[in-house]
Amino acid sequence: MNERTWLEQVESRGFDKWMTEVLIVDAQRTHFAGDFPSGFAFLEGGFVDLGFGLLGLTDERLDAVRRAFVGRGVAVVGTDFRIRNLGPGRSVVVPADGTELATLPGHWRRGVFVVNGNKYSWVGKASPAASLPGFVVGEYRDAGDGWVLAGEASATPASEKAPPGPRQNA
């Protein structure tokens, strides 16, 4: 595959270090498109903030996760998939292919929040969205690492729904 990653495109444009880092960090605020494997449908919606910085990772590991996401993709622990940013506001969930240079921690969903229209459809328990207007606890139900709108489909973690086969380890 000769397709250049978003990381390669950003780094080739000659931006200074500060601007390069801004583009890498901002990529985690995105929109996921395409078909979703079982356990990833909670990412579907208008706006997704992956909240990597809310996961308690060391600076080194956080940088590795962010760069992997805008590069070949970051492996999702317990699954055969990776999440990958293709460019501004465009991300996908695709099969892992072994080129991933980092793996998300098992609690990665805790940092994610997803906005669909004027409602949050997923609010990770480490996400600041739980303190924002529009999040009314009584309208949501506990889904493990986060909350989903009451009445929404199950948000069972991907690691619990993934088909049998090789799995990425943390």
Average pLDDT rounded to a whole number, residues 95-111: 95
- Reported as a single tens digit per residue, the pLDDT across 27-63 is 999 999 888 999 999 999 889 999 999 999 999 999 9
Residues 47, 71, 162, 113, Cα dihedral to 10°: -20
Is 132's pLDDT higher than 60? yes
- Crossing angle of helices 59-70 and 17-26, rounded to 10°: 80
Entry pTM: 0.83
Show the tokens assigned to 97: 């292919």
Is 167's pLDDT higher than 50? no
Is residue 22 very low, low, confident or very high in pLDDT (cuts 50, 70, 90)?
very high
The structure tokens 């979703």 sit at 36
Domain ranges, ordered by start, for the chain: 6-108
DSSP string of 6-35? HHHHHHHTT--HHHHHHHHHHTTEE-B-S-
